[in-house]
Amino acid sequence: MSAPTAAPPTSPTSLVGRVRAGASRGQIVAAILSWLTVTLEGFELVTLGAIIPTFLETQYLGMGVAETTFIATLSLVGVGLGASGIGPIADRYGRRVALIGSVLIFSIFTLLQPLSTTVMMFAVLRFVAGLGLGACMPAALAIMAEVTPPAHRAKSATITMTGYHVGAVAASLTAMAVLPHWEWLFWIGGAIGLVLLPIMWFALPESKPDVTSDTPKVPLSSLLRAPYLRPSIGLWVGSFMGLLLVYGLLTWLPQIMKAAGYSLSSSLVMLFIMNVGAIVGLLLAGWVADTKGIKPSILVWYLLAAIFLALLSVRMTNTVMLNAVVFVAGVFVFSAQVLIYALVAHLYHRDVRATALGLTAGIGRLGAILGPLVTGSLVSAGLGHPWGFYAFALVALLALGAIALAPKNPPRLDGHA
């Protein structure tokens, strides 16, 4: 194979620009469809947080805080199981089939949710939809990694992850437009997924895995002994805390702000602004980490996240000031977790990198499940504001402390370059 030519300069926000120069039409289509799929996931996962205040106000199906917390938790259990289980399916049947199947599952079960007649029925439908939603992102990121040259894979992953928050922004805007008719959020998300399916079926090419069948399997125990024990513990705890923070905020922010005395429309605006900040943060984080180092950037990111989350505990009457604090909190909270994945890829040798990434993401998913549960408990006890933000700030500081345990540079390994 001839050496690849240098890629021409591109806009830092251009998804297609991250695909190699002279890329085939199929590769460009794969990149766009992968981004759109992650965008749909962001739309659907944020939808529940946007409508929880309406459920509580109208007592839909008799829902209270305990019932909505149960639904949010079960939804994220489905997301975690879907994310963990899609790998073997994608390896056996291909990334294309895995991604299309994931979109099919979450689209159908999202459309069915407004037809629920009991809380348990709604929760079960949300759980199954979560299985499909959770599987989407790993499959999409795998496809992106395989259609992008190695030199741009980290940046392409960051750009792909912006799709999640673009979807979250779209969900916030849609909620402001359609509430209290919350059913439209599920119908719109599910319908878009179904429209996307035939396009994916005919246009999405099959990708090729990076590793061959004779690639040696790396035992889990290799991550629990020198030289990886210290970075493993730090990164696992950091990922757990990071996703606890992300999903706790996304699920309960509108309700916490409503409990603080802000109107529902203002609370949804804050959710929108925080996700706009997340998009800016993802684009900014990659550039900063490339120039200043990944670990120092994560430490600064979590410190600033803690400060601005703590500031949100203060009841502000100045709307501009409030929205500015929400925006800056969004810049740092969400992109810090993506930088953790970049640090994993930086610190671990290629022989153990896939195992390390998978385990870091899997442990982080446990935090994603616990986050809405912990936050919901505070809301149920009437402590959502201000104690919810104190808890969020503490979690950010715990993530900072955990990442501080990890080394800045990869350990030296005997026999490895």
Give the other-Cβ count within 10 Å of 216's Cβ.
7
| Residue 294 pLDDT exceeds 50 | yes
Cα 282–129–104 angle (5° rounding)?
90
Task: Give the residue from 139, 161, 174, 151 showing the smallest Cα distance to 50.
Answer: 174
| Residue 348 pLDDT exceeds 70 | yes
| Residue 97 pLDDT exceeds 50 | yes
| Residue 377 pLDDT exceeds 60 | yes
| Residue 20 pLDDT exceeds 50 | no
The 3-state DSSP class for residue 406 equals coil
Q: Which residues of 317-343 are buried (b: 16+ CB within 10 A; e: fewer)?
A: eeeeebbbbbbbbbbbbbbbbbbbbbb
Q: For position 324, what pLDDT does the model report?
A: 92
| Residue 22 pLDDT exceeds 50 | no
For the stretch 184-230, pLDDT in tens is 999 999 999 999 999 988 888 765 544 444 445 555 666 676 777 78
Q: For position 417, what pLDDT does the model report?
A: 37
Q: For position 21, what pLDDT does the model report?
A: 44
Task: Give the residue from 385, 275, 282, 386 showing the smallest Cα distance to 330.
Answer: 275
How does DSSP classify residue 17?
G
Q: For position 87, what pLDDT does the model report?
A: 64
Mean pLDDT of the chain: 80
Q: For position 31, what pLDDT does the model report?
A: 80
Mean pLDDT throughout 244-259? 84
Task: Give the residue from 192, 179, 202 showing the smallest Cα distance to 96.
Answer: 202
C-alpha pair distances (Å), 295 with each of 18, 282, 347? 24, 15, 10
CB 175 within 8 A of CB 43: no
Q: Distance between CA atoms of 20 and 145, rounded to whole angstroms?
A: 12
Q: For position 91, what pLDDT does the model report?
A: 63
| Residue 238 pLDDT exceeds 60 | yes
| Residue 128 pLDDT exceeds 90 | yes
Mean pLDDT throughout 31-48? 86
How does DSSP classify residue 63?
-
Mean pLDDT throughout 299-320? 90
Lowest mean pLDDT among 3-7, 127-131, 320-324: 3-7
Q: Under 8 Å CB-to-CB from 343, ≥6 apart: which residues?
A: 235, 294, 295, 298, 403, 406
Mean pLDDT throughout 71-97? 78
Mean pLDDT throughout 155-172? 79
Greater confidence (156 vs 83) lies with 83
Q: For position 215, what pLDDT does the model report?
A: 47
Lowest mean pLDDT among 14-28, 99-113, 326-340: 14-28
Q: For position 384, what pLDDT does the model report?
A: 83
Q: Distance between CA atoms of 288 and 268, rounded to whole angstroms?
A: 30
Mean pLDDT throughout 47-64? 86
Q: For position 109, what pLDDT does the model report?
A: 95
| Residue 41 pLDDT exceeds 80 | yes
| Residue 395 pLDDT exceeds 50 | yes
C-alpha pair distances (Å), 16 with each of 132, 169, 197, 255, 283? 25, 21, 21, 37, 15
Q: How confident is residue 1, by pLDDT bands cut at 50, 70 and 90?
A: very low
Q: How confident is residue 152, by pLDDT bands cut at 50, 70 and 90?
A: low
| Residue 115 pLDDT exceeds 90 | yes
* Omega of the bond leading into 372 within 30 degrees of 0 (cis): no
Q: For position 355, what pLDDT does the model report?
A: 65
Task: Give the residue from 325, 276, 336 showing the smallest Cα distance to 301.
Answer: 336
CB 122 within 8 A of CB 71: yes
C-alpha pair distances (Å), 156 with each of 26, 140, 309, 359? 16, 11, 29, 21
Q: How confident is residue 112, by pLDDT bands cut at 50, 70 and 90?
A: very high
